[in-house]
Amino acid sequence: MHSRVHSLIHSQVHSRVQSRLPSLSVPKRTESEILIPVVPDEVLLNSNLIQHLALNAKDAALLYGVLMRTKEDPNSSETINYAPFTLFPSPVPTSLFNQAFEVQQDFNLLVDKISMDSEFLKNSLASTAEADEFTARLFNIYTQVLDEGIAQSITLGVNRSDYMFDKRPKLTATLKQVEINTIAASFAGLAARVPEVHRHVMNVWGKPDEAAKILSNKAVKGICKGIARAWHLYGSPDAVVLFLVEKISRNIFDQRCLEMELWKKNVQVIRRQMYEIYQRGTLDDNKKLFVDGIEVAVAYFRTGYSPDDYTCDECWIARLMIERSMAIKCPNIATHLVGTKKIQQELVREGVLEKFLPDDPAAVERIRETFVGLYSIDEGPDGDEIIAKALADPESYVLKPQREGGGNNIFGEELRQVLGGIKDKALRSAFILMDRIKPQVVKNYLLQSGAAVKLSECVVELGVFGVYIRNCNRLSMNLSAGHLLRTKRTEFADGGVAAGVAVLDTPYLI
């Protein structure tokens, strides 16, 4: 078997140049243009200016807290560096940005509705669970909790729906969904701090009017509003919010942004790894969850989305303990399963959206407008047909396994090799195929620690955070909570910030 398949399943300068700088002007979009550069080419090629701005940008990132721990010492804050980010904000069409925010509340409602439909989840994930051990273990926890009876009627969701701006088949860009993340949706904390860095860069460049147009990002406040509300609904002032975190925590400062905001609201936070829940967690007779003797009101997962997060069977026991408890889970196991690629593919089928949103055809249309083609490759004639198409034209498709976290998707010639290796095996049910989005290319400088500052051709990906709370059968909160813009060089087909491929960015609306 192809090895990839196997692993997937398991100041002076400033004064000199200032007088020569062209004015930043963003012309009106035309039908033949998709993304208009924020920064003119003559500025992008001005090496003295770029070096000056990059130095200022890096210092600003450190001052404003756009931080990560180092690869060399990932569990210590004695040595830190700036998180990777773009030198300039990237252009984003205003209409598409607004569209992403408007549809997020629809997606929140849809995710919640699906999470309550056990038959749909069971039928949709049956073939995937047979082919993919990780999905099977999650699904086993789900069915056990269902059989016992769900202890907690309050649900907290923190999602992030990710999009690219597709230039096919029209001349103007359209908003197309890459995926929706229902567990451990990250980088709200750092993304909320990047706008200040870009405002500083624009001011140093001598563009204060443009600096003032850069949007603030309220993602941290929006997410923490939801977590704090859930904590309050739990009804025990001495209980805490538990952050479930990974063993290696390079991205701890992104999480700390949320923690500090919760502490400001007088909500206590503790951090524990999954194995520590097994070691020191208990359920009392009322299924209240205690860790080190502390009652847990909300269990907020920043880990648990990858097989690598479950290093031993005891981690799975801990996950089951949490799911069986009275703690409000973010997400609960059902919502976690809604985020699988297989469910994303099922939603494209005719009539499925109408099934979950029967009284809101406008929401159905808003959601459907963001979809690209997603295809099951389960065994059978339909799966065989789409596999044949992908093998004949691999550049038009993306092969997606049931994995989160970036860096798992398969493209191009590798897609042909992997798909050819699994097309006659039941293992193929662990994947779906998706039409490949063709985004517009923009130019920018990506600032990454230890890397040379060089001009790159890039693509951007916009994420919108959504927060909702359901108390019994009624949504008491449904918010579009903030955004995340990430940018990567065109030579990288896949991978996120944590994977070292993408960098943080800020939208400059055009």
Q: b vs e for 257-282, b when ≥16 Cβ sit within 10 Å of the residue's Cβ?
A: bbbebbeeeebbbebbbbbbbbeebe
15-21: long-range pairs with CB below 8 Å, 24+ = 16/48, 17/46, 17/48, 17/49, 17/52, 18/206, 21/49, 21/205, 21/206
Q: Which of 115, 127, 161, 179 is catalytic?
A: 179
400 is catalytic: yes
User: To 10 degrees, the CA torsion angle through 403, 429, 331, 263?
Assistant: 0
179 is catalytic: yes
Residue in the block written with tokens 């010492």? 73
Q: Which of 115, 181, 251, 376 is catalytic?
A: 181
Q: Which of 323, 346, 404, 461 is catalytic?
A: 404
186 is catalytic: yes
Distance CA 124, CA 122 (A): 6
Q: Which of 186, 217, 325, 444 is catalytic?
A: 186
Torsion sign (Cα): 487, 491, 492, 498: negative
181 is catalytic: yes
280 is catalytic: no
425 is catalytic: no
Closest by Cα among 2, 121, 126 to 425? 2
341 is catalytic: yes
Q: What burial class does residue 23 get, using C-beta atoms within 10 Å of its C-beta: 0-12 exposed, 13-18 middle, 19+ buried?
A: exposed
Strand-pairing partners, residue 418, are: none
User: To 10 degrees, the CA torsion angle through 41, 450, 197, 221?
Assistant: 130
DSSP string, 263-289: HHTT--EEEE-HHHHHHHEEE-TT--E
28 is catalytic: no
Q: Which of 272, 486, 488, 496 is catalytic?
A: 486
Q: Which of 271, 389, 405, 495 is catalytic?
A: 405
Distance CA 367, CA 100 (A): 10
Distance CA 107, CA 88 (A): 30
Q: Which of 193, 199, 366, 400 is catalytic?
A: 400
Give, in degrees to the nearest 5, the angle at Cα 65 between 197 and 243.
130
Q: Give the C-alpha distances (Å, rounded to integers) separating 187 from 117, 176, 254, 404, 468.
A: 30, 21, 6, 15, 18
Q: Give the C-alpha distances (Å, rounded to integers) separating 214 from 92, 167, 205, 350, 354.
A: 11, 24, 14, 40, 38
Q: Which of 329, 341, 403, 488 is catalytic?
A: 341
489 is catalytic: no
Spatial contact of 468 and 180, defined as CB atoms under 8 Å apart: no
Q: Which residues are catalytic?
A: 160, 179, 181, 186, 341, 400, 404-405, 486
